[in-house]
Amino acid sequence: MDNTAKKNQGGPASWFSALSAHPVLWKRMMLAVTLVVLILFFVLPIVRLIWLSFTEDAVPTWQHYNEVLSDAGTWTVIQNTFWMVLGSTIMTLLLGVFMAWLITYSDIRAKQAIHVMVMLPFIIPSYIITLSWTQLFRDSSWFSGILQWLPGNLETPDLYTLPGMIFMLGLSNYPLVYLFTVAVLRKIPQELLSAARASGSGKWTVFRKITLPLALPGITGGGLLAFLANLDNFGIPAFLGIPGNITVLSTAIYQEVVGFGPSAFARAAVLSVLLGVIALLGTFLQWMLLRKSRELETAHEETGPRFRLGVWRFPAETAVWVALVFISFVPLSSMVSSSLLSAYGVDFSLETITFSNYSYILFENEKTQGAIGNSLMLALWTAVTALIAGTILAYYRVRRPSTLTRSTELITGLPYALPGIVLALAMIFTWMEPIPGWNPGIYGSIGILMIAYITRFMILQVRGSMTALMQVDISMEEASHVFGAKGLIKWRKIMLPLLLPGLISGTMLVFLTSFTELTVSSLLMSAGNETIGVTIFDFEQAGYTHYSTAFSTVVVVLMLMVIGSLMLAHHLWKKKVVKT
Amino acid sequence: MSATLQDVRKTFGDTVALSSIDLDIKDGEFIAMLGPSGCGKTTLLRLLAGFETPTSGNIRIDDIEAVEPGHMVPPEKRNIGMVFQSFALWPHMKVKEQVQFPLDHHKYVPDRFKKQKKERMKEVLEMVGLQHYADRMPNELSGGQKQRVALARAVAAQPSLLLMDEPLSSLDAGLRLEMRREIQAIHRKTETSIVYVTHDQSEALAMADRVIVMNHGSIEQIGSPRDIYSFPQTEFTAGFVGKANMVPGTFTPEGFHPLSDTDIVWPCTRVASTFIENGTFPVRPEQFQLNQHGDGLKGRVVNSQFQGKEMHYVVEVQGHSWTVDTPADVQLPIGEEISISLTGIETPSPSQTVHVYS
C-alpha cells in the first residue's frame, strides 16, 4: 500500500490511512464487517423464524407443532401441496426434457426462435400468465365460443382447481427443466455416442446405456429445481387456489398472517419451518446432484444436430410452433382484449373497446401510480445494490476460492433457496423488533421490502457475476497489473468493459424479478407501499378483472421495453467487441 | 545487475514448488528457463512478476528489494514487462490502446516516452512490424500478429526485466520459428534482460544466452546453450536437453567400458562427476554409429523411422533400448544384427568444469 504520504496528515482521514497502511489489518476488518452484515441480514431472520416456532413467550415449547400437526386442516393443506407439486413437477419434466431433446439433438429449424419462445413464460411473472389463461378460459371468451360451436359439448376447463394449478405451474416452470437439460445434453460429446455405435450397439441401446445415464444427473437436477420453483410459487395458488378454496402451504401461511387469528404468527412460523425444511432438503439434493454432474463440465458444448427427423421434420415444426404460439400469445391476447372492455362479461367488438381502464390505472388511480413508482424504485435499488455487492462477493469467490468465500456464497443463497413466503415471515419477525423493546420502524415501511428484495435476489447477481468473471481469463487482470494499473483504473479500463455484458444479464434478472415480485411483497407491504404484484393481486381478489388485466398489460409492455433496450445495448456492445 | 534471487522457496500447502533457488540475472541477458511441466519454472516467473509471494527468500529487481521478509512489491510497482502464454490482449482495446496502456500507467516509464506517448507507441509498433494495424481490434488479428502486439505492449515502457511465459506455445510450428527471430531482434534492439520460460529445448537453445534447466522445483544446471547440450551435469539435463541414452558400465583409467565389457573402451575425459559416480555414460542419439560389421557392442535393430534428413533407430543391446540417429542413407532392416560404436565427442568451452578420471 502506498499511503506513506498521507500517513502524517491529521484529521479524520488519518485513522483511515493508518489502517490502510496495514493491509493485513485492513483486510481482516473488511472481512469481519462483511461477515457480520451477511449473518445479520441473511442468516439471522431464519434463526429468528425457527426460534419463534419453538417458543411461547420466550419459553421453549412443542406446543405450536402439536397444535398445527394435530389440525386436520393442516394435513389437507399438506396433501394439496404434495399433489400440486408432484403433478406440476412431472409436467415440467415431460415438457422440458422433450423440448430440450428436440432443440439440441434434432435437425429442427429456427432453433434460436424456438428457444426464445420457450423462455418467454420464464420472463413474464407466473401470476400474469395465470391471469391471461383465466381470461382465455372465461365463459364469454372467443375460445369458449369455439369450444361450444364444436360438436361434443366441450367446455373450457376450470382453472380454479388442483389440475388447473398443476397446469399453470407446469407451463410457468418447464423452461427451468428445459434450460438445465439443454446444457446437459449439449455437453454429452457426440463421440461417446459414436463410439457406442461403432462398438455395435443400436440407437436404442445407445440412448439407454450412454445418453440416459450421462444426462440423468442433469435432468434430475433440473427436475429438483422445478420442484423447488413449484413449491415456492405463491402467485398461482393465490390467483387460482384462494378463489377455488384449495389451500397449499404457501397460501396457508399467507392466510394465517393476513387473517391475524389467535397465535397466527406462531402457526405461520410452524408451517414456514415445514415448508422451509422441504425446500432446503430439495436444494441440498439438487446441489449434490450438480456436484456429481460436474464431471461433464469440462467437455465443450456441441450444438450440431445429432439425428434427422426426415419426413417428420415439417409436421414436427408445425406442431411445435402451433403449440408455442398458442401457449405464449393466445392467452396474452385474451388478457389484452379483456383489459379493453369496460366491464366483465361484455362481448368483445370494435364498439365495446375502451381505453378507460388504462387511463384509470395510469392517470386516475393513485394506488397504481404509487405501485409503479414503488416497484420501479425497489427494483432499481435492489438491482444496483446487488450489482455492486454481488459482484464484489463474486469476485472474491472466483479469484480467491476458500472455505470462507464459498460459505459467503452459501449464505447469500439461503434466502433464495427458501420459499418467498417463508422469507417474508422471517423478515417480519426480525425487523418488527430487532432487539426486544426497540422497533426501528423498518417493518411497515418500504425499507423492509428493500431489505427483503436485496437479500432474496442478491444470489442471482452473485451467480451472474461469477459466470461473467469466469469468462474473463485471469491473465487479462494480470496483464493490467504488469502494465501498471490496479484498483480503480484496472476496474474502469479493463474489468468493467469486459464484464459489463455478463454483469448486466444478472442485473436485468434481478431488476425484472424485483419489479414484478409478488410473494414477499404480499406479506411485507403496508398501506402506501404497495407494489405492482400486490396491486394486481388486490384487483383480482376484489373482482376488478378489467383493471388487473390492464395493469398486467402495462407491466408486460414495460418489461418488454426494458428487455428490448438492454438487448439493443448488448447488441451494440457486441458489434464493437466480438469475443476472441 | 538486473535481478537477483536469494534462497527463494515456494510451497503450496505440502507441495514444494521451488526449493532454495539462487540466481543472478545480468543486465541485458537473455535467460531461458527450461524444464518439463510442473518443474517450477512458471512459479519462478510468477514470483519475479509478483503474482506469487515466495514462502521465504529475497528477490531484488533493478536494485530495488521486490521481496524481503514481510514486504512485497506488487506487480504494478515492479519495473517489468510480460508476455503471457495466451497473449492476454484486452479484447475491448485497439492495438494502439494496448500498447499505450503501459505508457499511461507503468510506474517506470522513462520521461522521454511520457512526453511523447504517441511517438513511442508508433515506434514500438514499427519494431514489431505492425505500424499499419494500430486501429485493429484483437479479434481482427492473426495469431502471429497478436503475439507481436503482446510483445510490443511488453516492451513499450522499456522495462528493465521482460518476462515471457511460454509465449510461442499457442502458435503453429512455422510461425514459432519466425517469432523466435522476432524475439531475438527485439532483444538486440531493446537490450532488456529477458526471462523466457519454455518446455521446448530447441527454443531455449536457439535464443538464450544462458539456459537454466529446472526439475522438481530446483535448478539442475545453468550454462550456455552449447554447454548445456554437450556437457550435461546431471542425468536429467542429459535426457531432457540432449535426449541422451544412459549407458551403464564401468569407468577405469583407460576410459569407459560400456556394459562393463572390458574389450570396448569409450574415451571419457569430459564426463561430469555425477555420471562417473553413478557409472553411467550419457550418449546422445547422434553420437552413436551403427555398423553392419566391425567392432563394438552387438545389438539388433527393433524399430526404424524415416525422418527425411536422418533416420531414427531403436536398437536393443543386451536388454537395453537405445535411440540412435543416423544419416538418412544408413538403411538397416528391422531385426538386423549390428554393432554399435561412438562417433564424435565435443571439446568443452574453457568455462566448463571438466572431470578427468584419474
Which residues on B lie below 8 Å from A498 (Cβ)? 90-92
Q: What is the pLDDT of residues B163-210, one digit of tens each?
A: 999 999 888 888 888 889 989 999 998 889 999 999 999 999 999 999
DSSP state of A311: G
Rounded Cα gap, residues B275 and B265, in angstroms: 16
Chain A residue at shortest CA distance from B159:
A483
Domain A71-331 CATH class label: mainly alpha
Using alpha carbons, select from A529, A390, A549 the residue that is nearest to residue A464.
Answer: A390
Q: Which CATH architecture has domain A343-580?
A: Orthogonal Bundle (1.10)
Q: How would residue B62 be classed by pLDDT, with cut points 50, 70 and 90?
A: confident
- Asked whether the beta carbons of residue B86 and residue A579 sit closer than 8 angstroms, the reply is no
Q: Is B194 helix (H, G, I), strand (E, B) or coil?
A: strand
Is A56 at the interface with chain B, CB within 8 A?
no
Is B106 at the interface with chain A, CB within 8 A?
yes
Which residues on B lie below 8 Å from A576 (Cβ)? 92
ipTM rounded to 2 decimals: 0.76
Using alpha carbons, select from B233, B267, B241, B234 the residue that is nearest to residue B352.
Answer: B233
How crowded is residue B280: how many other Cβ atoms within 10 Å of its Cβ? Answer: 21
- Cβ distance B255 to B267 under 8 Å? yes
Using alpha carbons, select from A70, A123, A261 the residue that is nearest to residue A556.
Answer: A123
Joined grid coordinates for residue A38: 451477511
Q: What is the pLDDT of residues B321-333, one digit of tens each?
A: 999 999 988 889 9
Q: Is A255 helix (H, G, I), strand (E, B) or coil?
A: helix
Q: Is B187 helix (H, G, I), strand (E, B) or coil?
A: helix
pLDDT at B303: 94
Which residues on B lie below 8 Å from A484 (Cβ)? 76, 101-102, 104-107, 157
- Tell me the longest C-alpha to C-alpha distance in chain A: 92
Chain A residue at shortest CA distance from B161:
A482
Using alpha carbons, select from B269, B309, B264, B312 the residue that is nearest to residue B290.
Answer: B312
Contacts of A421 (CB under 8 A, 6+ apart): A234, A250, A253, A254, A272, A275, A519, A520, A522, A523
Domain range annotation of chain A: 71-331, 343-580
Chain B residue at shortest CA distance from A485:
B105
Which DSSP string corresponds to A497-557?
HHHHHHHHHHHHHHHHHHHT--HHHHHH--TT---HHHHHHHHHHTT-HHHHHHHHHHHHH
At residue B322, φ and ψ (nearest 5 deg) are -120, 145
Contacts of A465 (CB under 8 A, 6+ apart): A387, A390, A391, A393, A394, A395, A499, A502, A503, A506
Q: How would residue B356 be classed by pLDDT, with cut points 50, 70 and 90?
A: very low
Rounded Cα gap, residues A135 and A117, in angstroms: 21
- Cβ distance B43 to B52 under 8 Å? yes
Query: Strand B193-198 relative to strand B30-34: parallel, antiparallel, unpaired?
Result: parallel
In one letter, which amino acid is A392?
I
pLDDT at A7: 38
pLDDT at A442: 84
Distances in Å between the Cα of A133 and the Cα atoms of A73, A137, A144, A331, B41 are 29, 6, 12, 5, 65
* Crossing angle of the two packed helices A72-105 and A249-259, in degrees rounded to 10: 130
- Cβ distance B2 to B11 under 8 Å? no
Q: How many residues does chain B have?
A: 358
> Where is average pLDDT lowest: B61-70, B284-293, B298-307?
B61-70
* Structural domains for chain B: 3-227 (3.40.50.300), 243-342 (2.40.50.140)
The partner residue sitting opposite B105, judged by closest CB among A484, A576, A578, is A484
Q: Give the closest-approach CA distance of B60 to chain A in angstroms.
A: 17
pLDDT at A14: 52
Joined grid coordinates for residue A466: 461469477
The partner residue sitting opposite A484, judged by closest CB among B85, B86, B106, is B106
Look-up: residue for cell 442468516?
A43
The partner residue sitting opposite A479, judged by closest CB among B88, B92, B104, is B88
Q: What is the pLDDT along chain A (580 residues), one digit of tens a residue?
A: 344 433 344 444 455 555 555 667 888 888 888 888 988 888 988 888 888 888 887 788 888 888 888 888 889 999 999 999 999 999 999 999 999 988 888 888 888 888 888 888 778 899 999 999 998 888 777 777 777 777 777 777 888 999 999 999 999 999 989 988 888 888 888 777 777 878 778 778 888 888 888 888 778 888 888 998 999 999 999 999 999 999 999 999 999 888 876 678 888 889 999 999 988 888 888 788 777 665 555 556 677 777 788 788 899 899 999 999 888 888 888 888 888 887 666 666 777 788 888 888 888 888 899 999 999 999 999 999 999 999 999 999 999 888 888 888 889 988 998 899 999 999 988 888 777 777 788 888 899 999 999 999 999 999 999 989 998 889 999 999 989 888 888 999 889 988 988 888 889 989 999 999 999 999 998 888 899 999 999 999 998 888 999 999 999 999 989 888 888 887 887 776 654 4
Strands across the sheet containing B56-61: B15-25, B3-12, B56-61, B64-68, B71-72
Signed CA dihedral, A488, A494, A499, A504: sign only: positive
Is A295 at the interface with chain B, CB within 8 A?
no
Using alpha carbons, select from A47, A149, A479, A229 the residue that is nearest to residue B99.
Answer: A479
- Asked whether the beta carbons of residue A483 and residue B49 sit closer than 8 angstroms, the reply is no
Rounded Cα gap, residues B213 and B217, in angstroms: 10
Using alpha carbons, select from A245, A221, A226 the residue that is nearest to residue A87.
Answer: A226
The partner residue sitting opposite B88, judged by closest CB among A2, A475, A577, is A475
Using alpha carbons, select from A106, A117, A122, A102 the residue that is nearest to residue A181.
Answer: A102
At residue B327, φ and ψ (nearest 5 deg) are -60, 155
Fold agreement (A71-331, A343-580):
yes
Torsion angle in degrees (nearest 10) through CA of B340, B341, B344, B346: 100
Q: Is A171 helix (H, G, I), strand (E, B) or coil?
A: helix
Joined grid coordinates for residue A395: 469476485
Which DSSP string corresponds to A128-142?
HHHHHHHHHTSTTSH
Which residues on A lie below 8 Å from B71 (Cβ)? none
- Asked whether the beta carbons of residue B89 and residue A484 sit closer than 8 angstroms, the reply is no
pLDDT at A296: 56
pLDDT at B358 over 60: no
Using alpha carbons, select from A217, A222, A194, A210 the residue that is nearest to residue A98.
Answer: A222
Residues 455-474 in A contacting B (C-alpha not used; CB under 8 Å): 473
Q: What is the percentage of chain B residues whose pLDDT exceeds 90?
A: 52
Look-up: residue for cell 493508518?
A18
Radius of gyration of chain A (CA): 26
Q: Give the closest-approach CA distance of A402 to chain B in angstroms.
A: 13
